Amino acid sequence: MDKTFVALDGMNRQEVFDLLSAYPQIKNVKVGLELFLRYGREFVKELSQKYQVQIFLDLKLHDIPTTVAKACKTLDGLNIRFLTVHATGGAKMLELAKESISKTVANCEILAVTILTSHNNSDIKGIWGRTHKEALINLLNEVAASGVRGIVCSGADLDIVKSFEEKASLSFTKVCPGIRPGSDHDDQVRVMTPQAAMDAGADFLVVGRPITRNPEVLRQNLFP
């Protein structure tokens, strides 16, 4: 499971530790806003030290550029692989986040969150006043201008992303949530199976409830 980050959202501290102890095949985890606000920096440190997992810190920062840059500085001392900020914050915010984290956390990559997998076309039109494709391309332009080279996007958006990469002569690290091996979508709208997302060009997948509700599914080798 080198390509799959297990989203620990909705779990408490002991449930997380029980899961990682019972299933050592989990090599990558995502810590979201809920867990981080509940348990803080020390929880992230403990995960890294006790289980030797790669950590994706999914805080989706979004504020004025200097505030986001200062927030990144507070992560000093944490061993994290990815940190999310919202692409809607614009190129300057993304640029300062990238600059700040490079001085604060070694080998941490900023991921710009594009369009959430819970948003349908009506949501996108209401928020951005544009079509899905237009909104996504506008966000990708901001990311490209900032120098950030990692994004979070739905697997369903990868065709647009790949076309953008080709035209802009660049390559993003593409991390895809909303991955569902079966028909249960939960609160996600734009979903994709693990194999389909990898075939479409995803570099990493994020999978939460399909694993945390039934961790025995890990024995079926459904996730890369």
Q: In whole angstroms, what is the distance from residue 207 CA to residue 130 CA?
A: 29
Cβ(182)–Cβ(191) below 8 Å:
no
DSSP assigned state of 58: E
Residue 175 pLDDT: 98
Q: In whole angstroms, what is the distance from residue 69 CA to residue 64 CA?
A: 9
Cβ(31)–Cβ(57) below 8 Å:
yes
Q: Per residue of the chain (224 residues), what is the pLDDT tens digit?
A: 899 999 999 999 999 999 999 999 999 999 999 999 999 999 999 999 999 899 999 999 999 999 999 999 999 999 999 999 999 999 999 999 999 999 999 999 999 999 998 888 899 999 999 999 999 999 999 999 999 999 999 999 999 999 999 999 999 999 999 898 865 555 555 678 999 999 999 999 999 998 999 999 998 888 99
| Residues involved in catalysis | 60
Cβ(111)–Cβ(151) below 8 Å:
yes
- Fold adopted by 4-214: TIM Barrel (3.20.20)
* CA dihedral for 170, 139, 5, 192, sign (positive or negative): negative
pTM here?
0.93
Q: Which residue type does 57 have? A: L
Per-domain residue ranges of the chain: 4-214
